[in-house]
Every structure is written in C-alpha cells, then in structure tokens.
Amino acid sequence: MWYIIASLLGMAAGAACVFIVLETKRKTLDEQKRRQITEAGRIKETLQAIQARERELEKSLTEFKSQAISYRELQGENTILKRDLRNIDVNLRKLHLDHEVQRKTQKTLDEQVTNLGSSYLKDHVKWVGSSLTPNNFANCKQRLQKAVESCRGIGFEVSTEQEEALLTDLKSDFEKAVRVAFEREEQARIKAQIREEQKLEKEVERELKQLERERAAIRVALEKALAEAKDEHSEEVEKLRARLAEAEEKSQRATSRAQMTKSGHVYVISNIGSFGEGVFKIGMTRRLEPTVRVKELGDASVPFPFDVHMMISSDDAPALENTLHRTLHRQQVNKANPRKEFFKTDIETIHQVAQKHHGSEVEYTADAEALEYRQSLNMSDEDEDFIESVYDKVDEGRERFGEDE
C-alpha cells in the first residue's frame, strides 16, 4: 500500500518535473520563435531598403547615362570654346584700342572744356564787372555765382578758393563803384547846393528888397502920421512903429538865415497815389519857403503831389536829416542804394525819432490828405471828360497864342 502510494507520489513528482521541463522548453521555443519572427521582420525591412536603394541607383544611373556626353560631342564643344576664346581675344584687343582712342578723345574734350570754361568765366566776370553799378551788387553777385555753377555743370571745375577770390574782387569793384558814384553825387550835390544857395540868395535879396520897400513905405507913412499928429502920440503912429520894428526884425532874420549855411528845414512827405501807404520821403531844404521845394518834387516826376507830414526848422538841418536816415536805415525801400530817401515805416515812428533828436516839440500830421489821388479814385466818367475838355481848351488857347506871337 505504502509502496503504491510512494510509487504514485514518485510518478506524480516525475510527471511534475517533466511538465516543468516541457513548459520551460515550450517557453524557450516560443521566445526563439518570437525572436525569429522579429529578425525576419528586420531582414524584410532591410531587404526592402536595399531594393529601394537599388531602384534609386538604377534611376541615378539612368539619369547619368542620359546626361553623359560622348567624346565627339566634347570635341565639338572644345572646338566651339576655342573659337569663342579667339573671338573674345579679338574683341578685347579692339576694346583696348577703342579705349585708347576714347581716352585721347576725352583728353581733347577736357582740354576744350577747360579752355571754353576758362574763357566763359573770364568773359562773364568781365561782363559782370562792366555792368556793376552802386545799385546792383546783389544781382551781379547772383550772376557771378550762376556763371560758376554753369562752369561746374559742364565739367570745368572752379575751386571754392577761386570762387571766393572772384567774390572778393567783385566786392572791391563795388566799393570802387560806390566811391566813384559818391564822388559824382557829391559833386552834383555841391553844384545843387550852390544852385540852392544862389536861389536862397535871390530869395533873400527879393525879400530884403520887399522888406526895404515895406520899411520905406512905413517910414513915409510914419512921418506923415507924425506930421499930422504934430508929435502927439496916436494909435496909428504906434501901429506904424510896430510894423516898422517887425519889418526890421524880418530883415535881420532873413540876413541871418542867409549867413547860416546849415540852417534849413527837414521835411517828411508822402505820396500815396505814387508809392502806396506807409512810404515816406525824408529830405532837407534850405529854401526860405520850404513848401516850394515840396511842390517841385511833385511837379513832373510823380503823378500826384506830395502831402507834408512834418516840416521841422533846424539850425543844423543836414545833421538832423542824417540822423533820421541812419536811425531808419533798416526801413529803407531801396536797400540796394542807401542814398535814396524813401522809407517803409509809420509816421509815429518817424515822429518819435525826430522828437528825440530835435530837442523841441515837433508838430506833425498823421493822415495824408492825398486829395487828387482820392478824387481820381472816386471821379465819375462825366467829371473826367469835363476836366479833360477844359484842359484841352486851355492847351488850344496856348497854341493859338504862340502862333499869334
């Protein structure tokens, strides 16, 4: 019994051992199988990659064969390249020759440009110098600078130093022109002053004669009045004596005025119809009647007469006039010629300057009457025709009078 049980147990143990061994072998075989399947997959993939690479190589080989050039073709291309190289060499030699010819031509052109530019600049500088006046320096400077730019534009180089030298010469010539003009104007001014003094002498002489006749008449009247009054004082005698004293005082003032070479009147006048608003002429006259000079200025040179804003009597009229000119020089209308006496400013500014330097009260008129100018603006055609007809009749009468003579 125990034997049987032991046998059975031995058999069971042996069966278990066999099972374990078989199971282990089965697992080992399954693992080997999986490994083989995996290895087969890798081999398959490698084979596919090799086949793809073969296809690529076959394609590359096909393309290489299609691009392959035969020896004959290479010989033909080599022949063409040699011919092209010879042509290039010929063209290159021709280009060198053309370049040499062009260089010589350019050199000739440069010499011609230099000669032409130098001659043009020299002639233009001479022309600008000959046309230079005391009143056109700015224009001449612009012409000279334009000539320099034109020379540079055609390739004739003018250095900055040379341009500065030309401008310096122009300034020097302008100074000479101003000096010459100043001397000429000074001579004309002296002649005009002589004429003014001669006119003044004649005016003084006429006034003195008139005053002398007036004094003689007053003396006769006074003697007659005294004789009739029999040395008794009367109102008429006192009036005659006062008139005689006044006439003698006028005579003394006229004589003293003639002896004072710097005394005169500084006038400030405007002409709206001729120059517009805010333009004033500041001048000086030694006339005994300064309004006569203003009337002369408005006679023929301008279409309308001048309006007087100030008439300042001064013992040193030239100094006062010069002070006004220098103080207001920034407002000059003609900046190219400072000798002109027209200023763009307002009457209050002129009055303040005159008041400051004259030393006493200066009366002035702020608004210009400009009577003829304003009448001309508002005149009807009928009035204009009438005035024209009246002047025509007067002119006809003058012509007939001249013919009768």
Q: Which helix (H) or strand (E) holds 328?
A: none
The pLDDT value given to residue 189: 65
Confidence at residue 237, expressed as pLDDT on a 0 to 100 scale: 56
- Per-residue pLDDT, 403: 44
d(C-alpha 367, C-alpha 347), whole Å: 9
The DSSP bridge pattern shows strands 279-285 and 264-270 to be: antiparallel
- Identify the pLDDT of residue 390: 65
Q: Are 276 and 266 in contact (CB under 8 A)?
A: no
Q: What is the pTM of this model?
A: 0.45
Shortest CA distance to 354 belongs to which of 309, 403, 302? 309
| CA distances in angstroms from 111 to 102, 108, 161, listed in the order given | 14, 5, 22
pLDDT of 248 reads: 64
Name residues whose C-beta falls within 8 Å of residue 223's C-beta, 6 or more positions apart in sequence.
none
Mean pLDDT by 10 residues, the chain (405 residues): 69 74 78 81 83 82 71 78 86 86 78 75 83 80 86 81 86 81 69 67 70 69 62 58 65 56 84 91 84 81 89 87 90 82 92 86 85 81 71 61 44
State residue 44's pLDDT score.
82
Judge contact between 289 and 265, C-beta under 8 A. no
pLDDT, residue 282, reads: 93
Sheet holding 342-344, edge to edge: 307-314, 264-270, 279-285, 342-344
How far is Cα 17 from Cα 30, in angstroms, rounded to an integer? 20
